[in-house]
């Protein structure tokens, strides 16, 4: 049984029967049968349906935003933005998939040689709760446009979102079994990966979850793309525009109530600016409003689950015990729900959870660096490598640092880190491997086939 608890109220709102292993096998076989026909359809046919899916998302935007708010606590204004982003990725691949996957001629000693890009079959997506629509559509839009079929194992606390996504594709006219949702818990994932009809796996989630899926997929020799955790550093150099930097840092920190792999986590500030940065940062954090995710003026909703809120609080408490200063927040509020206030920690040093671990919530760790070189060293002093940003008025210097020195898959200059349908997205080190989005993302799950005609 999958039970859904509204994290803002603690009240049970729904429950769903978990599929049995035999039911799962029936679904997978049906999706494979659908693949055999779907792979033969034209790009123009797929694109027409994908654009209908985009319109379907927009038509139900408010309802889907409300669904996210009650299932995982996302502020409703952000939920509407998430749905629009999903519609955008559908349109991007509808417009560009055929061009990206068109055969590429290569001059060799053959009379004709080229590279073709062909679908491979069922892609299993194991997805998290924090962006319950976006995480799915950024896999599904390119996978389906490439001619693959998809099955979704979504997080157990957002089954309503999972079924709504399935309905979007079906209502748009996609054949019934081109995209299906499996209502299962984590225990059944390994068995799904073992199924011979499943050809590839994509996972967005924690590093331990990624390692488990990678291990099982490796055992079965199946391609994987993993987008895992992050401890994104934002480097503030002494020539930074502080107003711009602080605004971007706070925005990034509080997106999705701090529950984002690419939310800013560690703010590494050169010591000549650190006091000014702290004053402006705390003042800006105080302007946020924590409250009911369904309220239009809420900027920080609840955390997705009570256990996640409590784990975050323990990381804060432990950091304080080890010497960090708490300038804002840091206390669990009285009342129902999994709320945690915007929190600012300073004097953060190596050995503290706020330095070494991912803080998945509205908690900012400010770290002082003696100079630019030290700031870059601290930024890279992490097992993660998803996103990073640098702030400086010298754009050429910022670009050089982003290209040559910051160790991350996505590096931004004078802006907060975000995903874009047109650009590849993914990490290095314990933040995973492979890329989603852009031309690189759609090529992860195709057969890059060499054709040589003598």
Q: Which of 249, 261, 410, 411 is catalytic?
A: 261
Three-state DSSP at 150 gives strand
Bridge-based pairing of strands 266-270 and 233-236 is parallel
Is residue 275 annotated as a catalytic residue, yes or no?
A: no
| Cα radius of gyration rounded to whole Å, the chain | 22
The per-residue b/e assignment along 394-428, b for 16 or more CB within 10 angstroms, e otherwise, is eeeebeebbeebbbbbbbbbbebbbbebeebbbbe
Q: How many CB atoms lie within 10 A of CB 225?
A: 22
- Provide the 3-class DSSP secondary structure of residue 287: coil
- Closest by CA to 148, choosing from 172, 165, 125, is 125
The label of the residue with tokens 């079906």 reads 170
DSSP string, 65-89: HHHHHHHH---HHHHHHHHHHHHHH
Q: Which of 78, 82, 227, 357 is catalytic?
A: 227
Nearby residues of 40 by Cβ (< 8 Å), 6 or more positions away? none
What is the distance between the alpha carbons of residues 336 and 11, in angstroms, rounded to a whole number?
9
Which residues are CB-contacts of 291 (< 8 A; sequence separation ≥ 6)? 297, 298, 300, 301
Whole-angstrom distance, CA of residue 105 vs CA of residue 219: 35
For 41-50, letters b (16+ CB in 10 Å) and e give eebeebbebb
SS3 105: strand
User: Taking Cα atoms as reference points, which of 223, 286, 225, 227 lies closest to residue 254?
Assistant: 286
DSSP 5-38: E-TTT--EEEEEPPPPHHHHHHHHHHHHHHHHHH
Interatomic CA distance for residues 445 and 442, integer angstroms: 7
Active site (annotated) includes residue 227:
yes
The tokens for 379 are: 């930024």
Which positions are catalytic? 227, 261
């Amino acid at each position: 049984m999958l039970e859904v608890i509204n994290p803002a109220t603690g009240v049970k709102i729904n429950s769903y029967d978990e599929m049995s292993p035999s039911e799962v096998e029936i679904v997978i076989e049906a999706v494979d049968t659908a693949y055999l026909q779907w792979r033969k359809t034209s790009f123009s046919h797929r694109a027409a349906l994908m654009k209908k899916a985009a319109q379907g998302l927009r038509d139900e935007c408010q309802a889907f935003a409300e669904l996210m708010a009650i299932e995982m606590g996302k502020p409703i204004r952000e939920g509407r933005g998430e749905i629009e982003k999903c519609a955008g990725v559908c349109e991007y691949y509808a417009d560009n998939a055929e061009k990206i996957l068109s055969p590429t001629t290569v001059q060799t000693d053959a009379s004709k040689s080229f590279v073709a890009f062909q679908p491979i079959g069922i892609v299993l997506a194991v997805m998290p709760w924090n962006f319950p629509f976006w995480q799915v559509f950024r896999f599904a839009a390119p996978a389906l446009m490439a001619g693959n079929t998809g099955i979704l194992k979504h997080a157990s606390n957002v089954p309503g979102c999972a079924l709504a996504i399935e309905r979007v594709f079906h209502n748009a006219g996609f054949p019934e079994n081109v995209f299906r949702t499996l209502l299962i818990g984590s225990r059944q994932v390994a068995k799904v990966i073992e199924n011979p009809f499943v050809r590839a796996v994509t996972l967005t989630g924690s590093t331990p979850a990624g390692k488990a899926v990678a291990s099982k997929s490796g055992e079965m020799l199946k391609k994987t793309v993993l987008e895992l955790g992050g401890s994104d550093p934002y480097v503030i150099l002494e020539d930074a525009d502080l107003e711009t930097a602080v605004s971007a840092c706070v925005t990034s920190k509080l997106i999705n109530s701090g529950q984002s792999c690419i939310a800013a986590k560690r703010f590494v500030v050169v010591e000549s600016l650190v006091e000014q940065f702290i004053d402006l940062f705390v003042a800006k954090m105080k302007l946020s409003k924590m409250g009911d995710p369904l309220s239009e003026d809420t900027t920080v909703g609840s955390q997705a689950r009570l256990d996640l809120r409590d784990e975050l609080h323990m990381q804060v408490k432990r950091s304080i015990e080890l010497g960090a200063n708490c300038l804002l927040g840091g206390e669990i509020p009285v009342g129902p729900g999994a709320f945690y206030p915007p929190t600012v920690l300073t004097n953060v040093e190596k050995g503290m959870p706020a330095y070494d671990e991912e803080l998945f919530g509205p908690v900012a760790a400010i770290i002082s660096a003696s100079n630019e070189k030290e700031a870059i060293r601290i930024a890279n002093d992490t097992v993660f490598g998803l996103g990073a940003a640098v702030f400086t008025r010298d754009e050429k210097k910022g670009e050089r640092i982003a290209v040559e020195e910051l160790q991350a898959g996505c590096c931004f200059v004078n802006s907060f880190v975000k995903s874009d349908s047109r650009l590849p997205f993914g990490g290095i080190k314990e933040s995973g491997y492979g890329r989603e989005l852009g031309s690189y993302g759609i090529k992860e799950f195709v057969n890059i086939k060499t054709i040589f005609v003598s």
